Chains A and B, each alone.
Chain A
Amino acid sequence: AQKVTQAQTEISVVEKEDVTLDCVYETRDTTYYLFWYKQPPSGELVFLIRRNSFDEQNEISGRYSWNFQKSTSSFNFTITASQVVDSAVYFCALSNNNAGNMLTFGGGTRLMVKP
């Protein structure tokens, strides 16, 4: 069975601080995909990134960066110089090698960025 754990249920930071959201996953599959989604107050989940299990390169996109470490089964997400607009619930998710794209989600981390 697959499992995704986001141990931080809530994080509160002050604007311009850096913040890292942790994600640890469990799977028996050798091929799998990892995702991060953002859910702003409007409710609609927005896709941020996907990674396949063979690509351990870290990725940076503007203020966002992702650190994938197979050795520790982690896929952490860092926001640099956080902004109030980053306030949202962030979900990490795992999909095995199925074209149906069934995702197993973590419990989510609520990030509050205060001005």
Chain B
Amino acid sequence: DVKVTQSSRYLVKRTGEKVFLECVQDMDHENMFWYRQDPGLGLRLIYFSYDVKMKEKGDIPEGYSVSREKKERFSLILESASTNQTSMYLCASSSWGHNSPLHFGNGTRLTVT
């Protein structure tokens, strides 16, 4: 079974802090994704990566950056956290190919105060 692990289930940070959300997958997947989930808005893609050191902006990249130094690890970085970044963050991975479903982690609920 594919396992996608997000390092924290809950995080509370202060405005202006730099925040790192970590995600690791164990199935050698090429693609990795960061989504944020907000009520009524579903999941919105922040960034994705299709290979080591490669990244593409999703629908809402502003205020975020990502890092993929190793195939299994994809980090989401909030350079200076703001209250409007309070949300549930979901990491996912998939193999390359049109029919490959995404496999999700359990999510990190981030609160910025």
Contact = CB atoms under 8 A, between A and B. Distances in A.
Contacts of B107: 43-44
Contact of B106 (A33, A37, A44, A91): A44
A98 interface: yes
Contact of A102 (B41, B48, B106): B48
B104 A100 contact: no
Which interface residue of A50, A105, A106 has the most chain B CB atoms within 10 A? A105
B31 A101 contact: yes
B104 A102 contact: no
B58 interface: yes
Interface in B66-113: 88, 90, 92, 94, 96-107
A102 B98 CA distance: 10
Interface residues of B, number: 29
B106 A105 contact: no
A35 interface: yes
A95 B96 CA distance: 13
Contacts of A43: 88, 106-107
Contacts of B58: 102
A103 B99 CA distance: 12
Interface of A: 4, 6, 9, 33, 35, 37, 42-47, 50, 52, 91, 93, 95, 97-108
